[in-house]
Structures are given as structure tokens and as C-alpha cells.
Amino acid sequence: MKTAVIGGTFDPVHLGHLHLLHSLVELTDYERVLLIPVANPPHKRHESSVSTENRITMLHLALDQYYEIYPTDRKVEVLVELCEIERGGTSFMFDTVEELYKKYDVDGKIGMVIGDDLLSGLRRWYRFDELRHAVEFIVCRRARVRPQQLLPPGVEGRFLENPVMEDSSTHIRKLLLEGESTFEELASLLPKSVVQYIQDYGLYTH
């Protein structure tokens, strides 16, 4: 089965994440998409005020709403893959890809979805020379104006011409910490079930 991977902190998962999944479904022919919440990302410092279990629960809630938000999307297998959480430590994509090839029946190369803001540092990724032979990079647009960019030499991949949504987990956490946003305002950024879960459990308030 043709398989793509979207990794992230999903802290919290928001409508921008679901829109990226929608773009991947609409603009490619992948049959399976694995959403992989990281344990400890190597490319940025990440400290969360919520538990790993909270992040995973919110991700499942968001995916339960996916086809309500995008009812005409073709049906693909979308799974939450917990290998990086279960492995613990720093989440290196090389280790993850090796594990995924052993765990899943994958046709061709795994599609590795990354933002174009990561492209310049790609060659510094852990064991990149081996990783680049194992995956196809799917480079999604993070800003409305994309500078002229090229894939590094020897890298297989393509640029995804996805529409850009401005949603940011950092911005959402700031709004929640300030505690002044209404349910309706938050529901313009997050799936409603995720907003309800956050409010029920008082997440991101400290």
C-alpha cells in the first residue's frame, strides 16, 4: 500500500493539520497516511504542558471528525502511529522509517511529508545519506509566498502546491493560556471535539 507519513508534536492538533492531510489526499495517490506524534523532536525544543496521552487523544478526536470536515475526500487509511512515543528519546526519522518498513506492507518508498521551512537543513538530519534512499520527500508549502527552492542533490521528492492555513499550535496555546477566546473562536482553529476536550480538562491554562 502506498504510504505517506506526517510527523509532528500535534500540541494541539488543529485544522491546519487536517487541511494538510486533505491536501495530501487530494493532490497525491497515497493509500495510507500515518500520523506520528513525536516524543522529542530533534529540530526544535519542545516542552508541553499537557501529557502525551492528551496529545494522542486529541489526535484521535480530530481524525474522527476528518470526513465530517472533508466529506468528499477519497477514502484512505489514516492511522495514528505511536512508534516514536513508544521508542522514547529523541525522535529521529531514520529510526522511524526503518521501523515502519518492518511493521507495514509498503509499496515503493514511504512519502515523508515535511514543511518547506525544513528543506535548507535537510542534509543535517540524522543519517540523512541513508534516509534519502529510503523515502520520497513531499515538501508542503508553509508560507503563502514560496521562495525558489530545490531538493538537495540525490534526493527524490516533489513539492506539494497546498493552500496555506495560518493555524499554529504555538498561537493556539497562547490563546488558551490567555483564556479569553470563546468556543466559537477556538472552533475556527481547532476541530470542535478537540476544543471541547481542551475545555473539559482545562488544558493549556498554565
Do the domain assignments include residue 85?
yes
How far is residue 93's CA from residue 124's CA, in Å, rounded to a whole number? 12
State mean pLDDT over 58-64. Answer: 98
What number of H helices and E strands is found in the chain?
9, 6
Instruction: State the pLDDT at residue 161.
Output: 85
Q: How many CB atoms lie within 10 A of CB 88?
A: 9
| Cβ-proximal residues to 136 (8 Å cutoff; 6+ apart), any chain | 108, 109, 110, 111, 112, 156, 157, 158
Residue 60 lies inside a defined structural domain of this protein: yes
Lowest mean pLDDT among 82-91, 141-150, 178-187: 141-150
Tell me, yes or no, whether 54 lies in a domain.
Answer: yes
Q: Are strands 3-8 and 110-115 parallel, antiparallel or unpaired?
A: parallel
* pLDDT tier, 117 (very low <50, low <70, confident <90, very high otherwise): confident
96 pLDDT band, cuts 50/70/90, is very high
Domain region containing 25: 3-166
Q: Is residue 138 scored above 80 in pLDDT?
A: yes
Mean pLDDT of the chain: 92
Residue 2's nearest CA partner among 107, 133, 81 is: 107
203, 51 Cβ separation under 8 angstroms: no
Mean pLDDT of 182-201: 96
DSSP string, 126-171: TTHHHHHHHEEEEEE--SSSPPP--PPTT--EEEE-PPP----HHH
In a domain, 136, yes or no: yes
Contact 106, 100 (CB under 8 A): yes
Q: Give burial (CB, 10 Å; 0-12/13-18/19+) of 74.
A: exposed
- Residue 146 has a pLDDT of 65
Would you say residue 94 lies in a domain? Answer: yes
For residue 133, give the CATH number of its domain: 3.40.50.620
Angle at 23 between CA 39 and CA 143, to 5 degrees: 75
With respect to residue 203, please indicate whether it lies within any of the assigned structural domains. Answer: no
Residue-level pLDDT at 43: 63
Assess if residue 206 is contained within a domain. Answer: no
Predicted TM-score (pTM) of the model is: 0.93
User: What's the Cα-to-Cα distance from 157 to each of 23, 132, 135, rounded to whole Å?
Assistant: 16, 10, 8
Question: Tell me: the pLDDT tens digits for 24-45?
Answer: 999 999 999 999 999 887 766 6
Mean pLDDT, rounded, for 124-148 = 88
Residue 171 maps to a domain: no
The total number of structural domains in the chain stands at 1
46 pLDDT tier (thresholds 50, 70, 90): low
Rg (CA), the chain: 17
Decide which of 150 and 147 is more confident. Answer: 150
